[in-house]
Amino acid sequence: MYTIGIDLGGTNIVAAVVNEKYEIVAKAKTPTAMPRTPEEIFDDIAKVCRESMEEAGITIADIDSVGMGTPGTVNSQGIIEFANNLGFDHVPARQMLADRLGIDEVYIENDANCAALGEAYAGSGNGAKDFVAVTLGTGVGSGVIVEGKLVTGVNNAGGECGHMVIVVDGEECTCGRKGCWEAYASATALINQTKRAMQEYPDSVMHELAEKEGKVSGRTAFDAMRHGDIAGIKVVDQYVKYIACGLINIVNALQPEVICVGGGICNEGETLMRPLRRYVEAERYSVYSKIQTKIVKASLGNDAGIIGAAILKQAK
Amino acid sequence: MYTIGIDLGGTNIVAAVVNEKYEIVAKAKTPTAMPRTPEEIFDDIAKVCRESMEEAGITIADIDSVGMGTPGTVNSQGIIEFANNLGFDHVPARQMLADRLGIDEVYIENDANCAALGEAYAGSGNGAKDFVAVTLGTGVGSGVIVEGKLVTGVNNAGGECGHMVIVVDGEECTCGRKGCWEAYASATALINQTKRAMQEYPDSVMHELAEKEGKVSGRTAFDAMRHGDIAGIKVVDQYVKYIACGLINIVNALQPEVICVGGGICNEGETLMRPLRRYVEAERYSVYSKIQTKIVKASLGNDAGIIGAAILKQAK
């Protein structure tokens, strides 16, 4: 049997046929082309599902279940209660997809949670049953898996580790709290930290680097560090400490088998991962335990969400 | 069938026969009388188990399983790897108890985790499957339950929410980190916060109250607040904010059905719980969800650990 995994994004809709080894065997894609009505969007979702089945040479009779990852908040009935960038307000996604595809087994979940599932089962988690995925992007997304199942909590809103405060009364966060991990460890936060350091260090090579690139980016401080620039070194070291702080919080609370870290910043590879592991090793509560949480880089990229969506039936 | 729950503490050993409704039907107790060898202590544990069965009018043949809560770190083989206040270093607790009682089904777990289980199944959790227990004492203890099972992680060291940093580079914590929730929300932390405020406010009624009581305690600031004392009001409000900060972090990460708060400070009852709920309601990420985590006071007191130990077989 096969399953279908769908990634509904603000830019593209991607559907893929996934086999029992969690491998993508066929994939189809179409632009989301916002703004459109939910009906139009779901017609296209069904269309790319059919295209992916056609490419795989199978029919809906070969499909055990369909799963979809979406931005926003999904309730336990598979209704997308709210998705800002799709303009969705209480869209009955599960039903709309079931009707269009003629299959009952349809599962809808937040896209960050799907990505966590994909990494846990088929990516950097290597099948780990207790797993947390953290994505350092515009914000800090996360998905928590315990005993192979997503932890979504009593209201399907769980897994928001990015909104754990690490600095009481600290930087304003988009969520309304002050001092959230996201406000210190996201790519956005790194850029702000870089800009502040540039003001403080007018001689830093970061000014040149930013001018060349046309903007201050998540790479500016890392590149400066590689030039031996003091300001760059300081920014990177402090940023890595902030990431580590949240990771250690997660380790102490849950002691997962693996935490994977993803997002554009992770293109720095071991430049980021090595000091990150060193800080986590030094500070975790379980410092004397023989078995320790592994901190690894996410490995599936954009496919994580599609594969995770395809697994939803078994992991919800 | 019945089960036996044991609470092994630094001061007393308590064993109880528990029925299928999670009710204690008989209880026996003896002093731990440290320092003694593990063999002597386990002889006494078996003795109080037999006394509790005798009082209940049953024999070991009526017992389905035995569970014990202990301070320190327990591994998955039921070996107490380290328990500072008992002087234990790799004590094979599961085996020692099984041998002495003549029963195979023996489960050993950290005492804070047992207390969490007891509250979840039989106390303030009222059967909640997703539950976190927080105890504000000398430290901040916690136990995390997901889908009715304890989350102990890959190395049985999970559930240490007290050691999540809420203030990067903040107050020194006993665990070696700086700024842990425990360093701000424990009773010990409250006493330190009270002492600092007394230095700052030499006219505060807290000086009189502490003199009357013979010491600064966890009650001093609360009593001063009831006298309308500015310094007391400030200390209590800030302390409640610190507790709320950690609770909101837990809500955002896990969205449990219920979080219960226990420990001596909770004798303040609604004086503590009401503002605590208000802060949590205002700041949690899921502010628009219809279903929300309930914040309640622990209800079983010392029996939580015993009842939780008695449930270990089904919850591990």
Round to whole Å and give the CA distance between A240 and B231.
38
Residuewise pLDDT in 10s, chain A (316 residues): 999 999 999 999 999 999 999 999 999 999 999 999 999 999 999 999 999 999 999 999 999 999 999 998 899 999 999 888 899 999 999 999 999 999 999 999 999 999 999 999 999 999 999 999 999 999 999 999 999 999 999 999 999 999 999 999 999 999 999 999 999 999 999 999 999 999 999 999 999 999 999 999 999 999 999 999 999 999 999 999 999 999 999 999 999 999 999 999 999 999 999 999 999 999 999 887 889 999 999 999 989 999 999 999 999 8
Could you tell me the CA-to-CA distances from B4 to A185, B60, B62, B92, B124 in Å, in that order?
47, 10, 10, 19, 21
Question: Choosing among B80, B151, B152, B154, which should be mutated to test the A contact, i.e. which has the most A CBs within 10 A?
Answer: B154
> Which amino acid, one-letter code, is at B262?
G
Instruction: Report residue B285 as tokens.
Output: 């990420």
Q: What is the pLDDT of residue A187?
A: 96
Q: What is the pLDDT of residue B250?
A: 98
Predicted TM-score (pTM) of this structure: 0.94
Residue A275: Cβ within 10 Å count:
17
Enclosing H/E stretch for A56: helix A38-56
Q: Is the pLDDT of residue B72 over 90?
A: no
| Residues β-bridged to residue B7 | B14, B69
Would you give the DSSP letter of residue A30? E
Rounded to an integer, the average pLDDT of B135-157 is 94
Contact A153 B177 (CB under 8 A): no
Q: What is the pLDDT of residue B31?
A: 96
Q: What is the pLDDT of residue A286?
A: 86
Quote the distance between the C-alpha of residue A239 and its chain's center: 19
In a 3-state reduction of DSSP, which class is residue A290?
Answer: coil
Q: What is the pLDDT of residue B85?
A: 82
Rounded to whole angstroms, the maximal C-alpha distance in chain A is 66
> Which positions in chain A touch B288 (Cβ < 8 Å)?
82
- Report chain A's terminal Cα–Cα distance, integer Å: 19
B169: nearest CA partner in chain A? A167
Q: Where are the alpha helices (DSSP H) in B76-202?
A: 93-101, 111-122, 182-185, 187-200
Q: What is the pLDDT of residue A13?
A: 97
Contact A283 B152 (CB under 8 A): no
More confident residue, A183 or B72: A183
Q: Taking a C-beta distance cutoff of 8 angstroms, is the pair A124, A298 a contact?
A: yes
Q: What is the pLDDT of residue B286?
A: 86
Residue in this structure with the two tokens 């920014």, named with its chain if needed = A235
Round to whole Å and give the CA distance between A47 and A28.
9
Q: What is the pLDDT of residue B115?
A: 95
Rounded to an integer, the average pLDDT of B43-71 is 97
Starting at the edge strand found earlier in the chain, the sheet holding B131-136 runs B149-150, B140-146, B131-136, B258-262, B294-297
Average pLDDT over chain B, rounded to an integer: 96
Q: Which of B66, B100, B128 is nearest to B313 (CA)?
A: B66
* pLDDT one-digit tens code per residue, B173-213: 999 999 999 999 999 999 999 999 999 999 999 999 999 99
* pLDDT one-digit tens code per residue, B270-293: 999 999 999 999 999 988 888 999
Question: Choosing among A149, A154, A169, which should be mutated to test the B contact, i.e. which has the most B CBs within 10 A?
Answer: A154
> Which positions in chain A touch B146 (Cβ < 8 Å)?
146-147, 151
Q: What is the pLDDT of residue B12?
A: 94
Rounded to an integer, the average pLDDT of B72-87 is 90
Q: Taking a C-beta distance cutoff of 8 angstroms, is the pair B18, B123 a contact?
A: no
Burial (Cβ within 10 Å: 0-12, 13-18, ≥19) of residue B198: buried
Which among B149, B176, B250 has the least Cβ separation from residue A147?
Answer: B149
Contact A155 B242 (CB under 8 A): no
Q: Is the pLDDT of residue B80 over 90?
A: yes
Q: What is the pLDDT of residue A213?
A: 97
Which among A164, A257, A283 has the least Cβ separation from residue B176?
Answer: A283
Rounded to an integer, the average pLDDT of B238-260 is 98
* DSSP letters for A164-192: SBSBTT-SB-TTS-BSBTHHHHSHHHHHH
Round to whole Å and give the CA distance between B189 and A97.
53
Q: What is the pLDDT of residue A254?
A: 97
A37: left (phi over 0), alpha (psi -120 to 50) or beta: beta
